[in-house]
Structure 1
């Protein structure tokens, strides 16, 4: 119970900054999953949560955990980084051994997770494309976030670009 209270107070402190509030929500989600508190996790998700997955079907670990199809301890999600991007997006990445690299992209509205995208063994680049002219895409200034898998130099990962 104390862990929930500290998470709630952390989220209250960051209410004035949507990026920090959203990051705190996603951090809370991973902490609560690690302790098996699925009721708390369910309270962080919109009832009409939009799902998207890229990778081998048998690797849809987070989807199975969030729907209750598998236990919280079947696959351990320990994010190596959690980054807020803008007022409504948080990206988390982690790896569990050499063959399990994952990226989760969470979209939030009013402190509630409304969309979830799970990428497994995929290199992801998040770029802003809104006001840029087509010939300007590709400059480093439009890259908001990029995968940093630990053992990338030893293997190749398929890549995707996510436009924000």
Structure 2
């Protein structure tokens, strides 16, 4: 993807297609996940959207990603959330289907 975005290669140089198989949003963060047809490559994109414009893109290949929420939950709760408490709100799924072990990362939002 980086080569295509930076102009180092043209779209015809590669047959890899970015077709999201799942899209989830958490406030201003949008998570898109997909994989190639052979399940050899899984990818996750995390887009930060501000005023309807993508202002930041994080891209992960063959990496298991867990998204956690820091601090207080935006929903009202009778349980007070300790700032150290970081609940997992989303986990990538295609890295598990590939039958391989991938490095894991945590994205805090």
TM-score (norm 1): 0.53
Three-state SS of the structure 1 residue aligned to 2:11 is coil
The structure with more helix, counted as a fraction of residues? 1
Distance verdict in 2 for CA 1:153–1:65, change over 3 Å: closer
Report the alpha carbon displacement of residue 68 of structure 1 after superposing the two structures with TM.
Answer: 2.9
Structure 2 counterparts to residues 98-113 of structure 1, below 5 A: 98-113=39-54
Q: Tell me, in whole angstroms, the C-alpha distance in 2 between the residues paired with 1:159 and 1:150.
A: 10
| 1:143 equivalent among 80, 83, 88 | 88
Secondary structure (helix, strand or coil) at the match of 1:66 reads helix
Encode CA deviations 1:66-108: one digit per residue, 9 max, x unaligned.
333323352210111111111x111101000222000000111
Q: Show the 5 A alignment for 1:6-155.
A: 61=1, 63-73=2-12, 74=14, 75-86=16-27, 88-96=28-36, 97-131=38-72, 132-134=82-84, 136-137=85-86, 142-149=87-94, 151-152=96-97, 154-155=99-100
- CA separation in 2, counterparts of 1:151 and 1:72? 29
CA RMSD of aligned residues (A): 1.9
Q: CA deviation at 1:157?
A: 1.2
Taking the aligned partners of 1:100 and 1:114, their CA distance within structure 2 comes to: 25
Structure 2: which 5+ runs fail to align? Answer: 73-81
More strand by share: 2
SS of the aligned residue for 2:107 comes to strand
8 Å Cα contact 1:98-1:151 kept in structure 2? no
> 3-state SS of the aligned residue for 1:156?
coil
TM norm structure 2: 0.77
1:158 aligned onto 2:108: no
